[in-house]
Amino acid sequence: MDIKALVSQMTLEEKAGLCSGADFWHTKAVERLGVPASMVSDGPHGLRKQDDKVDHLGVNDSIRAVCFPAACATAASFDRAMVTRMGEAIGDACQHERLSVVLGPAVNIKRSPLCGRNFEYFSEDPYLAGEMAASFIHGVQSRNVGTSIKHFAANSQEHRRMSSSAEIDERTLREIYLPAFETAVKREQPWTVMCSYNRLNGVFASEHPWLLTELLRKEWGFEGYVMSDWGAVADRVAGLKAGLDLEMPSSGGYNDRKIVEAVQNGTLDEAVVDRAAERILNIVFRYTGHAKPDTPWDKEAQHALAADIAAECMVLLKNEGGILPLRKEDEIAFIGEFAEKPRFQGGGSSHINCFKTTSALEAAQGLHIRYARGYDAAKDMASDEMIAEAVEAARAAKVAVVFAGLPDVYESESYDRSHMRMPDCQNRLIEAVAAANPNTVVVLHNGSPVEMPWIDSVKGVLEAYLGGQAVGTATVRVLFGDMNPCGRLPESFPKKLSDNPSYLFYGGEGNVAEYREGIFVGYRYYDRKETELLFPFGFGLSYTDFCFFDLHLSAAEISDREALTATVKVKNTGSRPGKTVVQLYVGDKESSVFRPVRELKGFEKVELQPGEEKEVSFTLDKRAFAYWNTQLHDWHVETGEFAIEVGYSSRDIAETAVVKVNSTVRVPRHYDINSIFMDILDDPRGREIIAPLLKVMQEGFSQGQSEQSDAANEAITDAMNLAMLRYMPLRTLLSFAGEKADPAALEAILKQLNED
């Protein structure tokens, strides 16, 4: 279809009308020209399709659907193929329900454990978040249904989210908060991008020309349309000029009229309206041209898939004395309301109206299970009677399993957590149960890290995250060994909230949120500062054992234009089949700028039988070694040695090799009379040019020392002279050169230094 020709037949009012929704969920139709409306749906871990009584925050019911594990859980899988399968299933559901776009994935970085929407985001690490997002998008869009990657950009808090400005320096933005979007856009071309509510460095994301046009379209090559988050539009005309194509939801025609008026009074070029209409219609017809409403939606099959996925995501955090897996013939106590009514999703716009749920208690039918409620999640309380009943059940059991975590009200869209604690009643319950039965295991249902004051009192901890509607089935499989846990933490678990790098500034002051910790987010901070953690990034245990060995690099030295291949062997040295995640980190051994100790640049999930061995290969390009140079406004690699590390987590490195990378880019430098010798000496060309000056300076020092007493000479060594010299500016040549001082020569040398 010739979209340009179609748009040329529209009136200005019709084109302007296309730039906002018809209602809460539909784009507008132009019936006289055969332009259909299309429907979008909340996601990203299932459908929240609503037809009437519409809202955006999950207050009203939507269709019965399948709730898959939330992003906090799926990221823990470190499994691209699995996330793609989940995307395919959601894409099938969209086709069945005549939905053109599912609103997800959400890829904002987990800056703090307090963000109320962390359960919907993947990771504190941009590489992992980007890989998970790209895999999900690939799966959904393989079904000819679009995605809307969100929230673009820097939406890492819910507090004042519609008014606050995220103040982020250029390097931090490029290295931490943009790469997940960049990976997904460049690799998978999501059909749409959803802008965030917040301002970015003072400008609303919905009207940010650099963000929506210069970066997203011109630099990254985005081809779809940009839509607003619901209600994110501040100035519609400014937004349209900046690159915001579709306003959602409908503004009742108000902003459509603003667009028409702006064109008529000459403040808005009609070509901008045409362009937005064309972008929207390209996606509308891409969907309608491939719509398959007869696509079957087998909810029972997807429920089973949701259980399989949830089991792959669970992270075994502690397993003292091999307390897990449980034996099916033993008497086991299931304690805690979440065993009967699991918390498996977060609150807000992603809330799914599940067609069914399976609890752990239900999944364990036929086993020797005794249940005690333990606490009331809705009331956030545990009576003395509840705890007494739990203690009695624990004493009568071989092993007591406490199902705990964060109630619904603790984590939701629209507001942030105020602390990192679990409910006091649940902590009290765990301590009481552990005192009654030393064989106590805790299963956690939460979307973000929690403090664990009872960690030394229990023998096992299984992090289930928010595992979707079939989480009970998955939990029982893992607890009883039908599934070997293979998840790894996609975020660091600090011991206490104040350990987090954003602790002092998170939330901001008024409408300004300064990201003062810069690039040191998550493990980048904890590893550099050597902070003692509860559990590090990438951590996870198994019921079997693995070893990594024989790390080999394809070259000992490369240029920044060449790729490096790293191969490593992994072996299952235990007695059970299982999966492990091979994590590859890169660290600059010596840098002129502040950099993390290591950064994740590759991972692979590997399945091995007992005794089986496989080789895993990684390809590292320039970006694996580069930092964002604010002088070049580009990615830059400094010549030097880089550590290539393979490990089980960011804190447990098994194999290390070193490669030298030579930069092919010389960073321009400008020198003046106040430039110090140290900076010039660090530049090979500068060192060559000022060599004669150094000789003059050293002679000046020597002459000065010869005129001093022997005691003074002993106090000032050549090494001290050299150390002082490195911090001296060029202008001191005129002070220390004595009779040899020559201002003209100094100017000539400065000119020579700056010629390049």
pLDDT, one tens digit per residue, over 618-632 is 999 999 999 999 999
Confidence of residue 732 (pLDDT cuts 50, 70, 90): confident
Q: Has residue 206 got a pLDDT over 70? A: yes
Strand partners, 580: 606
pLDDT one-digit tens code per residue, 450-498: 999 999 999 999 999 999 999 999 999 999 999 999 999 999 999 999 9
Question: Contact 532/579 with Cβ under 8 angstroms?
Answer: no
Options 92, 125, 229, 256, the catalytic residue: 229
- Give CA angle at 615 (610, 618), nearest 5°: 135
3-state helix, strand, coil in the chain (%, to 5): 35, 20, 45
List of domains in the chain: 33-156+180-288 (3.20.20.300), 299-535 (3.40.50.1700), 546-662 (2.60.40.10), 677-753 (no CATH)
Mean pLDDT value of segment 85-114: 98
Q: Has residue 718 got a pLDDT over 90? A: no
- Among the residue ranges 309-313, 441-445, 550-554, 712-716, the one predicted with the least confidence is 712-716
Mean pLDDT value of segment 725-733: 84
Token pair for 12: 């200005």
- Residue 20 carries which side chain, given as an amino acid letter? S
Give the pLDDT score at 286. Answer: 98
Cα separation, 680 vs 754, in Å, equals: 11
Give the pLDDT score at 699. Answer: 63
% of the chain exceeding 70 in pLDDT: 94
Confidence of residue 704 (pLDDT cuts 50, 70, 90): low
Confidence of residue 691 (pLDDT cuts 50, 70, 90): confident
Q: Has residue 311 got a pLDDT over 80? A: yes
Q: Which of 130-144, 714-728, 742-756 has the highest mean pLDDT?
A: 130-144
pLDDT one-digit tens code per residue, 401-420: 999 999 999 999 999 999 99
Q: Work out the mean pLDDT of the chain and round it to a whole number.
A: 94
pLDDT one-digit tens code per residue, 262-285: 999 999 999 999 999 999 999 999
Q: Has residue 9 got a pLDDT over 60? A: yes
Confidence of residue 739 (pLDDT cuts 50, 70, 90): low
Backbone angles phi, psi at 229, to 5 degrees: -65, 160
Confidence of residue 730 (pLDDT cuts 50, 70, 90): confident
Q: Has residue 381 got a pLDDT over 80? A: yes
Confidence of residue 656 (pLDDT cuts 50, 70, 90): very high
Q: Has residue 79 got a pLDDT over 80? A: yes
Question: Contact 371/334 with Cβ under 8 angstroms?
Answer: yes
Cα separation, 745 vs 628, in Å, equals: 36
Per DSSP, the three-state class of 538 is coil
Known catalytic residue at 621: no
Cα separation, 361 vs 475, in Å, equals: 10
Confidence of residue 102 (pLDDT cuts 50, 70, 90): very high
Q: Report the candidate in 239, 243, 281 with the shortest Cα–Cα distance to residue 259.
A: 239
Q: Has residue 301 got a pLDDT over 90? A: yes
Burial of 96 by CB count in 10 Å (0-12 exposed, 13-18 middle, 19+ buried)?
middle
Cα separation, 614 vs 611, in Å, equals: 10
DSSP string, 353-412: -BS----HHHHTTTS-EEEE---BTTTTB--HHHHHHHHHHHHTSSEEEEEEE--GGGSB
Q: Has residue 722 got a pLDDT over 80? A: no
Mean pLDDT value of segment 60-85: 95
Confidence of residue 129 (pLDDT cuts 50, 70, 90): very high
pTM for this one? 0.96
Q: Has residue 65 got a pLDDT over 80? A: yes
Give the pLDDT score at 132. Answer: 98
Give the pLDDT score at 56. Answer: 57
Q: Report the candidate in 465, 439, 442, 471 with the shortest Cα–Cα distance to residue 454.
A: 442
Q: Has residue 315 got a pLDDT over 70? A: yes
Give the pLDDT score at 689. Answer: 87
Give the pLDDT score at 61. Answer: 75
Q: Has residue 184 got a pLDDT over 70? A: yes
Give the pLDDT score at 725. Answer: 79
Interstrand relation of 533-535 and 192-195 (parallel, antiparallel or unpaired): unpaired
